[in-house]
Amino acid sequence: MIGYIARRLLQAVVVLVAVCALTFVLFFLLPSGDPAVLRAGRRATPETIAAIRAQLHLDDPVWVQFWAYLKGVFLHFDLGYSYYSSESVSSLLRSRLPATLSLTLGAVVLWLAIALPIGIVSALRRRTWVDRLLMGGALVAISAPVYWVGLVALYLFSDDIGLVPLLPGANRYVALSDDPGAWFGALLLPWLVLAGAFAGVYARMLRTSLIETMHQDFIRTARAKGISERRVVLRHGVRVAITPVVTLLGVDIGVLLGGAVLVETVFNVPGIGTLGYDSIRYADFPVIQGTVLLAALFVVVANLVVDVVYAYLDPRVRVSG
């Protein structure tokens, strides 16, 4: 088991270094905005620009810059400084993380609360009108662009412009530590919008998986033992059928912690997603690099956790994986 975890950890580090390298290649080989020009401001002399280039080490060969960056990240946890605001990238990320964390975790709770009952009911009442109605809803949820749903939701429900002002403070993010009530009010709409999209996917997935599971022999055995149908479904069926859902959940949480760009943009949530988006628009390379690395870290860790949990549950994985 320890050997397996060590192997997976090593793989994770390799993936992270490769992500760093890919970001470097992407933003050095492709012509994006010149950070020195952007930093120098509008009426900069060529000398100023040259000085800034030297200061940012932009004239060093790519591999020298890359090596210096890797050393900074892995030895000193130093992600560099923003070209644009001169703030340190790690403090920028730290200031944005709470918003993304709040958005993600709230949405996860919500979408599981919506998707699990729908998936179970749909699977058990397969091909009835209840199933059709629920799966139709799930289809709409996975097909609607999330930023559009966000705009429509704001149009309908936000307290300043909405037709039916139900949800106070949407569009104005407040930190949890400042005012928990306002924090909840501001995030309720983004949570619902983000959760809707995922709930559709999860409900469909659990339905398929549960239908498959309910035809297995052990379900017949459980029924033959005379256990109540409710117990057969929840204790035997769902317990097995939920496996693929858990895998996907791990990956999705990892991806979302790296920033939900679209939802954060629509609802003005100052999270990792908007930070990454702005950094690309400003060609703020250290911030792009830091955001991408953090997002990749979350994905890699989420995968690692899922794999280790599986290895713990199923000994076969340890040997072959």
Distance CA 200, CA 193 (A): 11
For another protein, the closer of residues 139 and 246 by Cβ is 139
What minimum distance in Å lies between the beta carbon of 179 and another protein? 25
What minimum distance in Å lies between the beta carbon of 55 and another protein? 23
Integer-rounded Cα radius of gyration of the chain:
24
Binding mask 17-56 for another protein (x = CB under 8 A): -xx--xx--xx--xxxx-----------------------
Q: Which of 1, 54, 68, 152 binds another protein (CB under 8 A)?
A: 152
The string over 259-288, giving b where at least 16 C-beta atoms fall within 10 Å of a residue's C-beta and e elsewhere, is: bbbbbbbbbebebbbbbbbebbebbbbbbb
Q: Which of 249, 253, 295, 306 binds another protein (CB under 8 A)?
A: 295
Kindly state the number of chain residues that form the binding site for another protein, as judged by CB under 8 A.
62
Binding mask 263-282 for another protein (x = CB under 8 A): --xx------x--xx--xx-
For another protein, the closer of residues 50 and 142 by Cβ is 142
Q: Which of 262, 269, 306, 311 binds another protein (CB under 8 A)?
A: 262
Question: What's CA 92's distance to the chain center, in Å?
Answer: 18
For another protein, the closer of residues 107 and 283 by Cβ is 283
Please give the structure tokens belonging to residue 51: 């000085």
Residue with tokens 């999860």: 202
Distance CA 43, CA 26 (A): 29
Work out whether 122 is an interface residue with another protein (CB under 8 A). no
Check if the beta carbon of residue 110 is closer than 8 Å to that of residue 195. yes
For another protein, the closer of residues 175 and 308 by Cβ is 308
Q: 169-208: which residues touch another protein (CB under 8 A)?
A: none
What minimum distance in Å lies between the beta carbon of 46 and another protein? 20
For another protein, the closer of residues 145 and 180 by Cβ is 145
Work out whether 159 is an interface residue with another protein (CB under 8 A). no
Q: Which of 116, 142, 176, 304 binds another protein (CB under 8 A)?
A: 142
Binding residues for another protein, rule: CB under 8 A, are: 11, 14-16, 18-19, 22-23, 26-27, 30-33, 120, 124-128, 139-140, 142-145, 147-148, 151-152, 154-155, 161, 211-212, 214-215, 223, 229-230, 233-234, 255, 258-259, 261-262, 265-266, 273, 276-277, 280-281, 283, 288, 291-292, 295-296, 299-300
